[in-house]
């Protein structure tokens, strides 16, 4: 039985059957935020975790936290917009792990600051270079990492690729480049799954909920007023999930005997938390932003109903597709 360490000193018990001992994992953009949380959880489950990022200082901070929890982590400086950097990461893994790679998590993302600095600004009013700021790392980089990872996984006949995305791929959220990028991430995961399925490699897209990352705290929660951010928006993040929930979901997903039945799908952390009985590191239930209770709370004249509606009533998943209004 392994123990997850909580910020408040409590320990969250990890199911002993969820061991990733012997696994070799790669998490991109793990110097902070969701990537760091994923690396911490994978290492606690027993995996050797390679982590990438552009800043040596923050990468080493993640590695130090992994070590404090008894895990094994290999920090590698890598700019996800540079093809040679990406190639070098995989050459290092091949050399050090005898060609083995079990899991890739496409998480690197460089657009958060640009997004929050341009909240409420229309796309034609922005410098068009914001497209590159948001999508060079968080889309193009994902494709390049996936190509190299797939070559290793196909050769060994097994593997899992998880691409971190969001509901912004379904409905408008933040701005145009963000939504286009996230929709493309979902399609990337789905189309890779088609070509990889016969090779024993699964590919899924993972949608975390509102996550309390360091940058969200800096640009949303700690500021009294942020352009384009109302109190409802701030409240959602104030009650959001920790950066480690995605990691707990991935550990359980990697151990799922029915993993290949999920390949190509968009998976929500709230759904996986319910499927695997996961609670956040502080013991909270992982918030479900598709629950009728939450949706009603966001509509001023219907918010009173959220008090009486049970939390288990959820929007059917097929309704999410209908909500896209594309047909």
| Residue 14 three-state SS | strand
Residue 251 · residue 27 · CB < 8 Å: no
Q: Which of 32, 39, 36, 34 is nearest to 210 (CA)?
A: 34
Instruction: Report the alpha-carbon distance of residue 1 to residue 17 in Å, rounded.
Output: 8
Query: Integer distance in angstroms from the first to the last C-alpha of the chain?
Result: 49
Q: Which of 130, 159, 128, 131 is nearest to 146 (CA)?
A: 159
| Element (DSSP H or E) covering residue 253 | helix 245-254
| Residue 73 three-state SS | strand
Instruction: Report the alpha-carbon distance of residue 192 to residue 148 in Å, rounded.
Output: 13
Q: Which of 63, 37, 41 is nearest to 50 (CA)?
A: 63
Q: Which of 287, 176, 170 is nearest to 235 (CA)?
A: 287
Q: Which residues contact 136 (CB under 8 A, 6 or more apart)?
A: 80, 81, 110
CA 20 to chain centre: 19
Tokens of 168: 């912004």
Task: Tell me which of 14, 50, 109, 178 is the catalytic residue.
Answer: 178
**Can 178 be counted among the known catalytic residues?**
yes
Q: Which residues contact 208 (CB under 8 A, 6 or more apart)?
A: 34, 164, 166, 241, 245, 246, 269
Instruction: Report the alpha-carbon distance of residue 53 to residue 230 in Å, rounded.
Output: 32
| Residue 172 three-state SS | coil
Give the catalytic positions in this structure. Answer: 178
């Amino acid at each position: 039985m392994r123990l997850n360490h909580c910020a408040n000193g409590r320990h969250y018990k990890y199911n002993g059957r969820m061991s990733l001992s012997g696994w070799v994992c790669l998490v991109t953009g793990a110097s902070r935020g969701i990537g760091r949380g994923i690396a911490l959880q994978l290492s606690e489950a027993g995996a050797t975790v390679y982590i990438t990022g552009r800043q040596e200082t923050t990468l080493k901070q993640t590695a130090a936290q992994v070590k404090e929890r008894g895990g094994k982590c290999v920090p590698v400086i890598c700019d996800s917009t540079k093809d040679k950097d990406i190639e070098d990461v995989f050459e290092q893994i091949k050399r050090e792990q005898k060609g083995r790679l079990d899991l890739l998590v496409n998480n690197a993302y460089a657009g958060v600051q640009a997004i929050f600095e341009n909240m409420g600004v229309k796309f034609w009013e922005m410098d068009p270079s914001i497209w590159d700021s948001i999508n060079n790392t968080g889309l193009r980089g994902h494709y390049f990492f996936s190509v190299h990872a797939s070559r290793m996984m196909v050769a060994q006949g097994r593997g899992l690729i998880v691409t971190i995305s969001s509901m912004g791929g379904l409905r408008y959220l933040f701005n145009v480049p963000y939504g286009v990028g996230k929709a493309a991430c979902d399609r990337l995961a789905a189309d890779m799954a088609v070509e990889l399925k016969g090779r024993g490699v699964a590919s899924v897209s993972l949608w975390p909920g509102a996550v309390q990352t360091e940058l969200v705290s800096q640009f949303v929660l700690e500021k009294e007023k942020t352009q384009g951010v109302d109190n409802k928006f701030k409240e959602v993040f104030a009650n959001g999930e920790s950066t480690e929930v995605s990691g707990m979901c991935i550990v359980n997903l990697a151990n799922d005997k029915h993993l290949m039945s999920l390949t190509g799908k968009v998976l929500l952390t709230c759904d996986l938390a319910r499927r695997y009985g996961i609670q956040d590191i502080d013991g909270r239930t992982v918030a479900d932003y598709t629950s009728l209770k939450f949706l009603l709370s966001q509509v001023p004249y219907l918010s009173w109903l959220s008090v009486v509606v049970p939390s288990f009533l959820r929007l059917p998943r097929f309704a999410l597709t209908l909500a896209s209004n594309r047909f």
